[in-house]
A and B are shown apart, each in its own frame.
Chain A
Amino acid sequence: MTIKFQKIRKHYDGAAAITDFNLDIQQGELVLLLGPSGSGKSTILKMLNRMVSHDGGHIFFNGQDINSFNVQDLRRRMGYAMQSVGLFPHRTVGHNIATVPRLLGWDAQRVQARVNELLQLLAMDPKQYAGRYPHQLSGGQQQRVGVARAMAADPDVLLMDEPFGALDPVTRAALQLQLKKIHRATGQTILFVTHDIDEALLLATRIVLLNHGRIVQMGTPLELLQQPTNDFVADFLGRADLGLKQLSLRPIAPHIKAIEGTEPIHTISHTVTFKEAISHMATLHVSSLRVVNADGTVLGQVHATDLLETSDV
């Protein structure tokens, strides 16, 4: 599976919305289209499944121009989840998720199995939820169903248009982690639109930062944080806490050392990042923490100076 945007242009009423947009996406990537509102990120997403047409250039899906596909066939191969979710209020959760598989004519048994599998993947008990109607779910649950529905027919690529934008911070964080887990487990190719920098830094294997319909910078989260190409990038990522954001991208695991001398009193899990570890130290007024795993076994300790003076990536 490959996607290639080649010299894409788009005008709205004579004003350029997208100018000379080029992007290649490989199988298994989780690409974040990041940018302020009006930067054209959503338009690019919608061009891919032809909800919006492009005025110039070509978009290739598996090497074929997307305009050469039957538009319905094309869309059925691309999952689509959006902020407003758009679940069908007259259909149950199970029926909603089954939408595309049914359009593709899967047999009932296969559809049923897939619905159950997806609900489990998104941490919802099929027995409890498959028969419910959307209005009986919380906002977070609705969005889970929206994601499950988008993934239902094993799409070649999953298009997500600010799917978690309307959720409360706790629910949003839970769903972000879940999506990250799903991406790791399934290798699903995802193109994800957001204006939330932290969301982008957390999820992306690659970030495409847009402004006024042009790509400003493209790279891994750490590359963007460490080498912002211009002031816009630095400002948009939050100039003041670029360093803190970098800390949030580094796990402490490689920096655990054997305990020497007095054992630190306070403990921390071995799965956290630098940011959490240092935040912990700041709150507790200590400079070292004991690291434990899930069972409570002590693995060693981390020290503030080790964390702050390291320069590895």
Chain B
Amino acid sequence: MSLSLVQRSNPVLALYVALAIGAVGGLPFLRVAPNRLLSGEPVYLWDVLQQLGSQQVDALLLGLVVLLCIAVWQPGQRLIQAFIILTMAASLSGVWLLAGQFASSAIQAGNPLLRTSLGAGFWTLAALAWLIALDAIARVQLPTLPRLLLQSAFFLPLLLLLNEGQRLSIAQEFANQRDVFGPAILRHLQIVFLAVVPALVIGLLLAWRMTRTRSLRQALFPILNVIQTIPSIALFGLLMAPLAWLAVQLPALGRAGISGVGIAPAVIALFLYALLPIVRSALTGLEQVPAEAVNAARAMGMSARQLLWQVELPLALPVLLIGLRSAVVQTTGLAAVSALVGAGGLGQIMFDGLFSAANELVILGVIPIVLLAMMADTFFKVLSSLIKTRP
């Protein structure tokens, strides 16, 4: 009986709704402080609604609750799921709109230094809106490409309404630091690129050798696995001393920008981390190439190189892409930590915020990192689906 109840209802959604109700009641939606340095007073969603709200907003909220309740009991209805996706996109931009308008009205009411920052309640509700939408999108059961498009389109209303929140302290913080972001993103991408591209080339070569030399595989995998277990900060630290020594011994290296601090230890460490997923997936991919196809290719007179490019690599590509995707996503995230050894990038903004106790700045550093990782993830998923639909 309990199984059929689970089949006929959506317990995940019920959990999300319960969490949302908890977040509305228990977590401050916003915090208002008289200036940037003081920590603020909590403001709950209820207060915001009372101050700004109209009966229409209340009616909308009531409608939302009803819709969610229906959706909990009707998980199979695609139309309802579509409604949920739309409503969640609206809710995400809605909480942003509410926060933004509250900030504007608070500043208009008097103190221009007043800081309205986003509270834990806001972030929880925003995250829940995204999770509920993801659940609904999964239930609509679309092919990969439309699904990914829909997931991206979910953020469209929020992007269009971004300006409405310009009085929020996060927007003001962004305005103050605006010049830093462009170069930071470029630097971040540079670090990822410099780590992943060599890891791809060398990882492929290693995997290819491994399919032919068993001992190489037995020797290399333990090393790669151990590297993977070293905490990133420790690995950056471990690389600093030898690189600094190298830069002293070989001044040419130093002049080329390689030294104990900066981009060099970061790129080397991230390269080492990226190696494992790439080698592992490339090897898995190469090993599942049908032996008879390889045999036929050799018997028809393909050289080892032609065999690799024309047969092995194309057939290993779908699996390789999975590893490459996790390598890129992982490197994008880890590159944030590399700011600690002076490599720059978006991690720099994050740590600046952390060290000056400016939470909004931390978030401003984190959001682009998350977005970059998500974009990379989506890019490779699209690529994989295009390759899979081809034959």
Interface hits, A65-99 → B, CB 8 Å: 71-76, 80, 82, 84-90, 99
Q: Does B293 lie at the interface of the complex (its beta carbon under 8 Å from any beta carbon of A)? A: yes
Q: Are A72 and B303 in contact (CB under 8 A)?
A: yes
Total contacts A to B, CB within 8 angstroms?
A: 61
A100 cross-chain contacts in B, Cβ below 8 A: 300-301
Residues of B within 8 A of A108 (CB): none
Kindly state the separation between the CA atoms of A76 and B306 in the bound complex, as whole angstroms: 13
Which of B296, B303, B310, B315 interacts with A82 by CB under 8 Å? Answer: B296
Cβ-based interface call for A42 (8 A): no
Interface string of B351-391 (1 = CB under 8 A from A): 00000000000000000000000000000000000000011
Q: Which of B290, B300, B390, B391 contacts A76 (CB 8 A)?
A: B300
Question: Which residues on the A side are within 8 Å of B390 (C-beta)?
Answer: 90
B5, CB-defined interface residue at 8 Å:
no
Whether B314 sits at the interface, judged by CB under 8 Å, is yes
Q: What residues on B are CB-neighbors of A103 within 8 Å?
A: 300-302, 306
Contact with A along B288-304 (1 / 0, CB 8 A): 00101111111111110
Residue of B nearest to A85 (CB): B292
Residues in B neighbouring A85, C-beta threshold 8 A: 292, 296
Q: Give residues of chain B (256-300) contacting chain A, Cβ–Cβ below 8 Å.
A: 290, 292-300
B296 proximity list for chain A (CB < 8 A): 80, 82, 85-88
Q: Which residues of A contact B301 (CB under 8 A)?
A: 71-76, 100, 103
Residues of B within 8 Å of A189, CB to CB, are none
A100: nearest residue on chain B (CB-CB)?
A: B300
**Contact indicator A75/B391 (Cβ below 8 Å):** no
Q: Identify which of A51, A75, A90, A100 gathers the most chain B CB atoms within 10 Å of its CB.
A: A90
| CB 8 Å contact bits of A229-268 with B (1 = contact, 0 = none) | 0000000000000000000000000000000000000000
A60 within 8 A of B: no
B-chain residues with CB within 8 Å of residue A86 when the two chains form the complex: 290, 292-297
Known: A82-B295, A82-B296, A133-B391. A89 touches B302 (CB 8 A): no
Does A143 interact with chain B (Cβ within 8 Å)?
A: no
The yes or no answer to B311 lying at the interface (CB within 8 A) is: yes
Whether B300 and A88, one on each chain, are in contact in the complex, defined by CB atoms closer than 8 angstroms, is no
Contact of B297 (CB < 8 Å), options: A84, A88, A89:
A88
Total residues of chain B contacting the partner, CB 8 A = 20
The CB with the most chain A CB atoms within 10 A, among B296, B297, B315, B391, is that of: B296
Q: A88-B311, A135-B391 are in contact. Are A82 and B292 (CB under 8 A)?
A: yes
- CB neighbours (8 Å) of B310 from chain A are 88
Given known contacts A89-B391, A133-B391, A80 and B300 CB-to-CB distance under 8 angstroms: yes
A135 to B302, CA, bound (A): 23
With a cutoff of 8 Å between Cβ atoms, the chain A residues found around residue B295 in the complex are 51, 82, 84, 86
Judge whether A301 is part of the interface by a CB distance below 8 angstroms: no
Is A269 positioned at the interface, with any CB of B under 8 Å from its CB? Answer: no
In angstroms, Cα B295 to Cα A49, docked, is 12
Chain B residues whose CB sits within 8 angstroms of the CB of A71 once the complex forms: 301
Q: List, in ascending order, chain B residues with CB within 8 A of A51's CB.
A: 295, 298-299
Contacts of A90 in B (CB 8 A): 314-315, 390-391
B311 — nearest CB in chain A belongs to which residue?
A: A88
Q: How far is the CA of A185 from the CA of B301 in the complex (A)?
A: 26
Chain B, Cβ-Cβ closest to A104: B301
- Do B315 and A89 touch across chains, with their CB atoms under 8 A apart? yes
Q: Are A89 and B292 also in contact (CB < 8 A) when A49-B299, A73-B301, A133-B391 are?
A: no
B158 to chain A, nearest CB (A): 41
**A135 contacts across to B, CB distance below 8 A:** 391
Bound Cα distance from A86 to B293, whole angstroms: 4
Residues of B contacting A82 with CB < 8 Å?
292, 295-296, 299
Question: How far, in Å, is B308 (CB) from chain A's closest CB?
Answer: 13
Q: Give the docked Cα–Cα distance between A149 and B303 (Å).
A: 18
Query: How distant is the Cα of A103 from the Cα of B298 in the complex, in angstroms?
Result: 12
Q: Which residues of A in the span 91-145 have a Cβ within 8 Å of any Cβ on B?
A: 99-100, 103, 133, 135
Q: List 20 A-B contacts (CB under 8 A).
A: A73-B301, A76-B300, A80-B296, A82-B292, A84-B295, A86-B293, A86-B294, A86-B297, A87-B296, A88-B293, A88-B310, A88-B315, A89-B293, A89-B315, A90-B314, A90-B391, A99-B297, A99-B300, A100-B301, A103-B306
Knowing that A82-B296, A103-B302 touch, tell me 6 more A-B residue pairs with CB under 8 angstroms.
A72-B303, A86-B295, A88-B297, A88-B311, A90-B390, A103-B306
